Amino acid sequence: MRTINFTLNGEQVSAHVAEHQSIVEVLRDRFDLFGARESCAQGLCGCCTVLVDGTAVSGCLYLAAFADGKKVTTIEGLAQNGKLTPIQEAFLEAGAAQCGFCTPGFVLMAGQLLEAHPDPDDDEIRHYLSGNLCRCAAYPEIIAAVKLAAGRLRAGRT
Amino acid sequence: MRPARGHDGISVMATRTIGSGQVGRSVPRLEGAAKVTGRADYVHNLRLPKMLIGKIFRSTVAHGRIKSIDVSAAKALPGVYRVVTIDDIKAVIPHPFYGPAFHDQPILADGKVHYVGEPVAVVLATDPHIAEEAASLIEADYDELPAVFDEIEAMTSKAVVHDELKPAGTFPDLKHLKGKKDTNIALDFHLRRGDTKKAFAEAEHVFEHTFRSQQVLHVPLEPFVSVAELTETGLTIHTASQSPSFVRIEIARLLGWPENKVRVKVPYLGGGFGAKLYIKLEALVAALALLVQRPVKISLTMEEQFYTLTKHAATFRIKSAVKNGKVTGRDCEVWWNGGAYADIGPRITQKSGFTAPGPYDIENVSIDSYSLYTNLTPAGALRGFGIPQLVWAYESHTDMMARSLKLDPVDFRRNNILRDGRAQATGTAMKDAAIEAVLDRLALRMNMKAPFDRGTGTLKKGRGIAVGFKASISPTTSIAIVNIAADGSVTLYCSTVDMGQGSDTANAQFVAEILNVPAESVKVVHPDTDVTPYDMATLGSRSLYHMGNAVRLAAEDAKAKLAALAREVGVPEGSNVPVAELFQKKYKMQAGNIIGTGSYIPNYVPPDANGLTPDATPFWMVGGTGVEVEVDTETGHVKVTKMINVADVGRPVNPRIVETQLSGAATMQFGFTMQEKIEFDGGQITNASFADYKIPSIVDIPRTMQNEAVESEQGTGPFGAKGVGESGTFGVSPAIANAIEDACGVRLTELPLTAEKIYRALRTAQGKPLED
């Protein structure tokens, strides 16, 4: 067991964790954050996606101990004072969530995508989101949501 | 508001609102904000004080008698609270067998194991890692028995899965199987209409083909999870279930308790697709909680989903008589691979079996449909309840016949199509089934009559269509309650489970339409059997119709009571007095409720000895798919470049959600068609993970995917609506196989349609077959 200190959704926190514990377990069991979810447990579905120092990682494989001294952002850290981010708004409007279990991972990954490619084409969207699975297959709506958000974000920047 | 769609994505479906404008409007999902912020409630989130975590030890043999189970090492591991086998379970549930059709499934293996992965023992600990490690220390010794895996072999095999059949007694057509020995047949359904022998004798052409579909898996991204806790009044089960009312009744039966001592609560589901029906983990966590008097949670891993429930593999032999371009007779024999426990397989065998001849007007029909036990993971409902397996066969067969007769595949279908008013195989007259409209729209949108670029060189192009239909399972009941509070706000109580299909939103739209309030303002209370009334289950696309009708009746009842209240307090009819004022006038303060109730069960006549009935189903679902494909003849790789899904969904209640249901269902079936297959080696699954079992990702789906609901009204449906969750699956597999033959001349009759199979078929066609 060891104590780790990290920034969680903007707040300084610490936790006593076992070496084998993943960040998704710690977020769930110590901080009551359920938006990152373990599903395939192999880093292949993207349901457990969290950002560590701004980069998306598979929370089911990322050991909590590695988060020591880092900045961790979860889906719960995006909306401020109940105001959705443009990407969340777009997912909502485009009907890009069906059962919603994979949605946080897609929203976070879409954020990474739009940081790298503010005006992505279909191939870039598909490539970036190929590591996130949606069994409800809301893929056409997810692509539409990303494009909608991209347009709004670009409009907001100019 | 609809977002602009810059890509060639799904089509925009026309909005047709009625009355107060709530039905027919693309209301965003009520829970949308909760889902995009990660705050939606799933059982996964639940943690209770003193809760223990259970991890399951599973069978490593496909069929065997248990000689011994050694739990000593597991028990000795520090942190382990208890190790449980069936003998412990029997202390709290003396007859621990459950199931919707047969009481054949034990809570933990009892004396025998019937498939690899069957639960044998459970370790309880507060730390899941300790429970998991302890489970790996358990050792079991078996006397292996001969096993049977193939559904055809199971018909005659000396290996018999169950010593004795135990039908549940709920279904009259299973009674004759009670106590039967030396058989693997869990149900045989037979239908005879007209004289097929004569039809075949008089036919100009007779075609016979056999098709097979493979075992595949639902894989909801939220794996199975259930929690049980004892309360001062009984037992509460929090579970990711599509059938809370069934769980309550079945657990009460197992415990010998009244229903009201068992409370079942279901929040949102992270996908269901038919997997989370009936009893899965619920009986186990209930027994464990009673045994240790502490809350118990079991969350399965992705791998364990492969050992819980699959989709039936099926073999379908279909034979048709054709005269003057008309199909005059059809024999259907279907063998369903049910796995080790019947689950709902016998119902699939009958309720889907009777549509095996397809959506065609065929005078002389015989159907023999068999539900078989085998030593594999149990099979159950999966988005289509057996229909995709049937359509796969009859629409491949239809195309093969048209091709052989040199008839246009669209015209051949239209010449034989089943029109409203004509009798289906059961003798039931078709009503509100827009089969021809679906075929016509599909042919039009696919431009089937126009010339087509066949590709060049080694890249060959082809196109194909297929149309299927389904009867809604009957008879089933739904009950709903609508509550108007003293401020006029409205709450709906019903046991329909929102697993992503958007039922909360649709039901809110029905209530809102009748009470003339915005759908967004209606609160929908999630299934809680202490609070929400009975509903058969969320399955088979039944809810929008059955629960929709119950909700409509409940809202109409509330509206009538509101009018009565207005009369009582002296408000003249037609005046625009706010609801809150009516309550104020009666109760002199903000107080009181109006409770409206609605109960719906459609008419139904069970089939006679020949499988015939004048009233087989309350409504028909129709779905068709058209595809364009490119086949690389050097590698066998297939790319589906375009997919069009057309369905009869009655009136679309929420056009946006209808589209997502059609394209989502079609994409799921696309996975089952192109890539998904559970691989077995002597009954052992060899690809039980997402690393080896690939479901469609965003890069796999066709570039062009369009969906359409044809103009249609379901006369008996709520506001003309009917179910939509499965219709997108029906045509996908045969449409692709038909397009592959159209492209490169090879015909595949076994799913999935892999590059290897296509390449082998191409080589065989060239007279240069590959070695195995």
Q: Which CATH class is domain A86-155?
A: mainly alpha
Backbone angles phi, psi at B262, to 5 degrees: -110, 125
For residue A135, give the nearest of B42, B657, B695 by CB distance: B695
pLDDT at A158 over 70: no
Q: What is the DSSP letter of B528?
A: B
Low-confidence winner among B163-177, B538-552, B725-739 (lowest mean pLDDT): B163-177
**How much is the pLDDT for B20?**
82
Active site residue ranges of B: 726
CA distances from A103 to A58, B723, B756 (A): 14, 25, 34
Cβ distance B38 to A104 less than 8 Å, yes or no, reads yes
E strand or H helix at B410: helix B409-416
Residues B218 and B102: their CA atoms lie apart, in Å, by: 22
Nearest residue in chain A measured CA to CA from B7: A122
The predicted-structure confidence for B80-112, as pLDDT tens digits, reads as follows 999 999 999 999 999 999 999 999 999 999 999
Hey, what amino acid is at B749? T
Contact call for residues B323 and B360 (beta carbons, < 8 A): no
Question: Strand, coil or helix: what is B639?
Answer: strand
pLDDT at B6 over 80: no
Who's near B375: CB < 8 A, 6+ residues apart? B62, B63, B114, B115, B116, B147, B148, B149, B159, B161, B339, B340, B683
Q: What angle do CA B50, B52, B56 make, to 5 degrees?
A: 175
Q: pLDDT exceeding 70 applies to what percent of chain B?
A: 98
| Preceding omega of B359 cis (within 30 degrees of 0) | no
**How much is the pLDDT for B576?**
86
Measured between its terminal Cα atoms, the distance across chain B in Å is 55
Residues B68 and B579: their CA atoms lie apart, in Å, by: 68
- Please tell me the distance in Å from A15's CA to the nearest CA on chain B: 17
**How much is the pLDDT for B170?**
75
Residues B453 and B720: their CA atoms lie apart, in Å, by: 40
**Residue among B519, B503, B520 nearest B725 (CA):** B503
In chain B, which residues have their Cβ closer than 8 Å to the Cβ of A105? none
| pLDDT band at residue B5 using 50, 70 and 90 as cut-offs | very low
Best mutation target among A50, A139, A146, A147 (most B Cβ atoms within 10 Å) is A139
Question: Strand, coil or helix: what is B84?
Answer: strand
Nearest residue in chain A measured CA to CA from B657: A95
The predicted-structure confidence for B28-87, as pLDDT tens digits, reads as follows 999 999 999 999 999 999 999 999 999 999 999 999 999 999 999 999 999 999 999 999
For residue B221, give the nearest of A45, A125, A131 by CB distance: A45
Any B CB within 8 A of A119 CB: no
Residues B442 and B628: their CA atoms lie apart, in Å, by: 12
**How much is the pLDDT for B14?**
59
Tell me which fold the domain A2-76 belongs to. Ubiquitin-like (UB roll) (3.10.20)
**How much is the pLDDT for B294?**
98
- Please tell me the distance in Å from B712's CA to the nearest CA on chain A: 24
Cβ distance A100 to B31 less than 8 Å, yes or no, reads yes
The predicted-structure confidence for B132-173, as pLDDT tens digits, reads as follows 999 999 999 999 999 999 999 999 999 999 999 999 987 777
Tokens of B376: 């594999």
Nearest residue in chain A measured CA to CA from B383: A136
Q: How far is CA B210 from the centre of its chain?
A: 24
| pLDDT band at residue B11 using 50, 70 and 90 as cut-offs | very low
Cβ distance B302 to A39 less than 8 Å, yes or no, reads yes
**Residue among B690, B753, B734 nearest B305 (CA):** B690
Any A CB within 8 A of B42 CB: yes
pTM over 0.95: yes
Each domain of chain A, given as residue ranges in start order, spans: 2-76, 86-155
Q: Which of residues 73-92 of A touch B (CB under 8 A)?
A: 74-76, 78-79, 84, 88, 90-92
Q: Which of residues 690-749 of B touch A (CB under 8 A)?
A: 690-691, 695-699, 701, 703, 705
What number is the average pLDDT over the span B241-269?
98
**Residue among A123, A107, A30 nearest A74 (CA):** A107
Any B CB within 8 A of A46 CB: no
Cβ distance B667 to A130 less than 8 Å, yes or no, reads no
Cβ distance B698 to A97 less than 8 Å, yes or no, reads no
Backbone angles phi, psi at B536, to 5 degrees: -55, -50
- ipTM of the complex, rounded to two decimals: 0.98
- Please tell me the distance in Å from B697's CA to the nearest CA on chain A: 6
- Please tell me the distance in Å from B124's CA to the nearest CA on chain A: 18
**How much is the pLDDT for B4?**
34
Nearest residue in chain A measured CA to CA from B655: A95
Any A CB within 8 A of B231 CB: no
For residue B36, give the nearest of A103, A126, A130 by CB distance: A103
In chain A, which residues have their Cβ closer than 8 Å to the Cβ of B501? 98
**How much is the pLDDT for B177?**
87
The predicted-structure confidence for B273-311, as pLDDT tens digits, reads as follows 999 999 999 999 999 999 999 999 999 999 999 999 999
In chain B, which residues have their Cβ closer than 8 Å to the Cβ of A18? 129
Neighbours of B141 (CB within 10 A): 11
Contact call for residues B288 and B92 (beta carbons, < 8 A): no
Reduced DSSP (H G I as helix, E B as strand, rest coil) percent helix, strand, coil of chain B, to 5: 30, 25, 45
Nearest residue in chain B measured CA to CA from A148: B3
Sign (positive or negative) of CA dihedral B251, B254, B255, B261: positive
What number is the average pLDDT over the span B12-19?
64
**Residue among B37, B92, B88, B100 nearest B536 (CA):** B100
**How much is the pLDDT for B12?**
46
| pLDDT band at residue B412 using 50, 70 and 90 as cut-offs | very high
Residues A106 and A123: their CA atoms lie apart, in Å, by: 16
Q: pLDDT exceeding 90 applies to what percent of chain B?
A: 95
**Residue among B389, B308, B386, B313 nearest B347 (CA):** B386
pLDDT at B2 over 70: no
| pLDDT band at residue A156 using 50, 70 and 90 as cut-offs | confident
Question: Strand, coil or helix: what is B411?
Answer: helix
**Residue among A104, A7, A46 nearest B690 (CA):** A46
Nearest residue in chain B measured CA to CA from A90: B3
Tokens of B677: 């297959």
Any A CB within 8 A of B45 CB: yes
**How much is the pLDDT for B176?**
84
| pLDDT band at residue B3 using 50, 70 and 90 as cut-offs | very low
**Residue among B721, B493, B511, B739 nearest B631 (CA):** B739
Who's near B140: CB < 8 A, 6+ residues apart? B57, B59, B60, B66, B68, B69, B70, B120, B121
pLDDT at B365 over 70: yes
Backbone angles phi, psi at B686, to 5 degrees: -105, 0
Q: What angle do CA B211, B214, B220 make, to 5 degrees?
A: 140
Any A CB within 8 A of B194 CB: no
In chain B, which residues have their Cβ closer than 8 Å to the Cβ of A74? 38
DSSP of B302-337: HHHHTTT-EEPEEEEEEEEEEETTEEEEEEEEEEEE
The predicted-structure confidence for B304-346, as pLDDT tens digits, reads as follows 999 999 999 999 999 999 999 999 999 999 999 999 999 999 9
More confident of the two residues A94 and B171: A94
What is the rounded average pLDDT for all residues in chain B? 96
Q: Which of residues 291-310 of B touch A (CB under 8 A)?
A: 301-302
